[in-house]
Amino acid sequence: MASSSDNQQSKSKSTDSQPLPPPSAAHNPPPIYPPPTMGYPPAPHPGYPPAPGAYPPYNGYAYAQAPPAAYYHNSPQNYAVEPFHAAFIRGIVTALIILVVLMMLSSIITWIILRPEIPTFRVDTLGVTNFNISKSNYSGNWNATLVVQNPNKKLNLTFKRIQGFVGYKDNTLAMSFADPFFLAVERTNLMRVRWTSSSPDDPGNWEETEEKLGKEKATRKVGFNLRFFVWTTFQSGSWWTRHVILRVFCDDLKIDFGTPNSVNGSFSAHGHHMHCAVLM
């Protein structure tokens, strides 16, 4: 009896010392995980890598901290209302600028198409008769012939008013008007002018001028000046017309009196025509 009890105790000890077999995976209950957050993929099970193509685990916030709420400023906006007179002045200035630009473009186009040129003036003859000077007055009859040429190929010229002066130094000796005339394209015309002088404009200044003129006349040649103001119209048919005033300067025209006591003299150009300066 004692041996049987010992055998049973030895079997129980051997049974207690042997390890239990591992439980089968088929009999283990599935783990319970919290449901995934709406809009995001479920988190992977602990101990397993994430599925290919899946997003990284979501920690509940897209940022380290929640984004601040948008700031809205409810104060009313102040829009500056432009005064009426400022807009009116700006409109006038803009209109003037546009007008000036259009005029410049028109002038440039006209110049390219018509190519206007200033007419030329040259002295052909100049003479004086009965020229007499004294300390109180002077007298003389002047005759001049000028050759006027129109170099334009598309523009006709009309000289409506021609005012001429005869002068010595800064003194005017006589003033007169020439007859108006018309000059077609690339044509030439003669302009004849006559003057009659009787007394100086400034007797006080004439005494000094008379002395200079007397000394120069003693050399038999005296230089006189011709001045002209010519009211001219440039015209191309009926679509383009321009009115200008030409200023013609014919300076230092030498009148040869022959002898110091002669009262008659003529222009000596020695075979060369005296060209005049023309300004607009």
111 and 230 assigned to the same domain:
no
Q: pLDDT tens digit string along 152-196?
A: 999 999 999 999 999 988 888 899 999 999 999 999 999 999 999
Q: Predicted confidence band at 8 (pLDDT cuts at 50, 70, 90)?
A: low
Give DSSP secondary structure letters for 225-263.
Answer: EEEEEEEEEEEETTTEEEEEEEEEEEEEEEEE-SSTT-S
Last residue of a domain, one of 115, 130, 154: 115
206 and 110 assigned to the same domain:
no
106 and 164 assigned to the same domain:
no
132 and 239 assigned to the same domain:
yes
Q: Are 125 and 145 in contact (CB under 8 A)?
A: yes
The confidence score (pLDDT) of residue 29 equals 59
- State how far the Cα of 178 lies from the Cα of 195, in Å rounded to an integer: 10
Last residue of a domain, one of 64, 95, 115: 115
Domain containing residue 105: 86-115
Residue 207 domain flag: yes
Query: Where is mean pLDDT largest: 2-16, 98-112, 144-158, 260-274?
Result: 144-158
Neighbours of 268 (CB within 10 A): 12
Tally of domains within the chain: 2
- State how far the Cα of 213 lies from the Cα of 265, in Å rounded to an integer: 14
126 and 162 assigned to the same domain:
yes
Pick the range with the lowest mean pLDDT from 75-89, 188-202, 256-270: 75-89
154 and 183 assigned to the same domain:
yes
Residue 216 domain flag: yes
Q: Show the tokens assigned to 211.
A: 């002395």
The confidence score (pLDDT) of residue 81 equals 56
The confidence score (pLDDT) of residue 261 equals 86
Last residue of a domain, one of 115, 131, 162: 115
pLDDT higher at 56 or 156 = 156
Residue 15 domain flag: no
The confidence score (pLDDT) of residue 76 equals 58
- State how far the Cα of 171 lies from the Cα of 266, in Å rounded to an integer: 20
156 and 263 assigned to the same domain:
yes
